[in-house]
């Protein structure tokens, strides 16, 4: 998608420095993908805070390790 945007030069310089992309488009794609991934992690953390994971009663990590080793 072609987009025209007015972005501050210092911000673009930081994006280029951190992403190390080949060109500005590559840098922006990398930065946006990273931002989306971070937001997904924040959202998942929020979901876990609201409804924490619960293990089945009688669950033991050792039994799962044994099962995985058999594969």
What are the Cα distances from residue 68, in Å, to 9, 61, 71?
52, 11, 6
Asked if pLDDT for residue 71 goes beyond 80, the answer is no
| pLDDT tens for each residue of 9-54 | 999 999 999 999 999 999 999 999 999 999 999 999 999 999 998 8
Q: How many whole angstroms from its chain centre is CA 54?
A: 23
pLDDT of residue 70: 85
Are 27 and 19 contacting, i.e. CB atoms less than 8 angstroms apart? yes
DSSP-derived letter for residue 22 is S
């Amino acid at each position: 998608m072609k987009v025209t945007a007015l972005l501050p030069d210092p911000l673009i310089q930081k994006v280029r420095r951190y992403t190390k992309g080949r060109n500005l488009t590559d840098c922006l794609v990398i930065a946006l993908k990273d931002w989306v991934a971070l937001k997904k992690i924040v959202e998942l953390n929020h979901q876990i805070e609201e409804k924490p994971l619960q293990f089945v009663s009688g669950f033991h990590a050792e039994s799962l390790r044994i099962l995985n080793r058999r594969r």
